[in-house]
């Protein structure tokens, strides 16, 4: 079995223990059985063209070739537009370093894939300026997009080696905001396994102040607007997130320090990094025995590398008396409210709400 696994990964022992008869096909896109090979052969996944290669018995056999097109922007390395260029679609393989202890993708992995798809959407649209997801008109005015709220709802987490397909699109959210939605499908079954929605506003890169969407920027993005929602209104987490204080916090984790690698191209901590710090104060038995099925983040202030943070968690019932949060429509077994704040002056950075379902129950409902 060890040698067979090595062969599938492109390594061959010096002996002839597994030399096949005749032509053989090897693929290094998946850690699963050959049942999945036809699903990804010839597809561009994670920016790599995955195809077939005959086994020749030589160690330098070429199994995977990077596709570097002649056209600028490397358009063939990312996704494609569908539905009259209103929806951007991209495919990914869940890699070994993107899974948790149970060998499934984590919430951080999903958020990273959503962010990657959104950025590639802007790049492939022909609107990209010289900023991190900014359009040309935004770059001229030193503006950037910042997310103010995002809700991710997970029906099922993909496993190591699974292939997922992500669709994303945008629409107006009032006069001075933009809504971006996503759906994630299992590429093989076409089942929608994750839905997400978010709200974005514009910030001046130099003053770090929010600003209205300029007319020129609005004219750039309006042709891409699509009046469609990923999460049904009765299942969307739209309620305000309650405030955690020192008095009602049940668990506190202090001394959380951003690293240089946590800073993104907008010169602040990337929004995905907050998830890990928020979960630092969640009880260990919850992390082990429950699946995180919904996470809502309200971003209140940006964070820099020099800031020291602390994470607070409490059951939602202990934070607010308002039980009308539609969580019953999402079948949550547990619900927590979270706060990430500066450790020194207690300034809030992110408020969050999470919903959890027993892994045993969640697995049964997903079958």
Known catalytic residues?
Answer: 266, 268, 303
CA distance 139 to 228: 28
74: region left, alpha or beta (phi > 0 left; psi from -120 to 50 alpha): left
What are 314's two structure tokens? 């409490």
Residue 178's φ and ψ, nearest 5 degrees, are -130, 140
CA distance 134 to 205: 11
CA distance 52 to 229: 38
Beta strands in the chain (DSSP E): 25-26, 44-45, 48-49, 53-54, 80-82, 87-93, 143-154, 163-172, 178-186, 192-204, 210-211, 251-256, 290-299, 309-315, 334-342, 348-358
Of the candidates 266, 265, 260, the residue with the CA atom closest to the CA atom of residue 208:
266
- Note whether 100 and 106 are within 8 A (CB): yes
CA distance 342 to 340: 7
CA distance 365 to 361: 6
Distance of CA 212 to the CA centre of its chain: 27
Of the candidates 307, 298, 174, the residue with the CA atom closest to the CA atom of residue 244:
298
142: region left, alpha or beta (phi > 0 left; psi from -120 to 50 alpha): left
CA R_g for the chain: 22
């Amino acid at each position: 079995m060890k040698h067979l696994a090595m062969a599938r990964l492109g390594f061959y022992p010096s002996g002839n223990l597994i030399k096949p008869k005749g032509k053989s096909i090897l693929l290094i896109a998946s850690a699963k059985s050959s049942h999945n090979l036809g699903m990804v052969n010839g597809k561009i996944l994670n920016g790599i063209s995955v195809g077939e290669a005959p086994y020749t018995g030589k160690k330098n056999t070429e199994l995977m070739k990077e596709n570097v097109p002649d056209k600028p922007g490397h358009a063939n390395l990312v996704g494609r537009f569908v539905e009259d260029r209103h929806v951007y679609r991209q495919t990914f393989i869940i890699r070994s370093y993107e899974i948790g202890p149970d060998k499934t993708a984590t919430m951080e992995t999903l958020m990273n894939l959503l962010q990657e798809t959104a950025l590639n959407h802007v790049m492939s649209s022909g609107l990209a300026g010289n900023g991190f997801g900014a359009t040309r008109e935004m770059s001229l005015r030193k503006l950037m997009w910042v997310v103010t709220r995002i809700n991710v709802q997970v029906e099922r987490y993909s496993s190591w080696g699974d292939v997922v397909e992500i669709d994303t699109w945008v629409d107006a959210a009032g006069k001075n905001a933009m809504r971006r939605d996503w759906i994630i499908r299992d590429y093989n079954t076409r089942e929608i396994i994750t839905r997400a929605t978010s709200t974005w506003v514009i910030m001046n890169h130099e003053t770090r102040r929010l600003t209205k969407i300029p007319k020129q920027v609005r004219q750039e993005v309006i042709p891409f607007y699509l009046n469609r929602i990923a999460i049904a209104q009765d299942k969307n987490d739209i309620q305000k997130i309650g405030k955690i204080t020192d008095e009602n916090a049940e668990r506190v984790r202090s001394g959380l320090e951003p690293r240089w690698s946590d800073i993104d191209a907008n010169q602040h901590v990337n929004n995905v990094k907050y998830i890990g710090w928020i979960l630092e104060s969640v009880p260990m038995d919850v992390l082990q025995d429950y699946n995180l099925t919904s996470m809502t983040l309200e971003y209140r202030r940006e964070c820099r590398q020099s800031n020291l943070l602390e994470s607070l968690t409490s059951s939602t019932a202990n934070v607010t008396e308002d039980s009308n949060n539609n969580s019953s429509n999402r079948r949550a077994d547990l619900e927590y409210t979270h706060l990430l704040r500066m450790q020194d002056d207690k300034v809030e950075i992110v408020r969050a709400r999470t919903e959890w379902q027993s892994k045993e129950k969640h697995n049964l409902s997903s079958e």
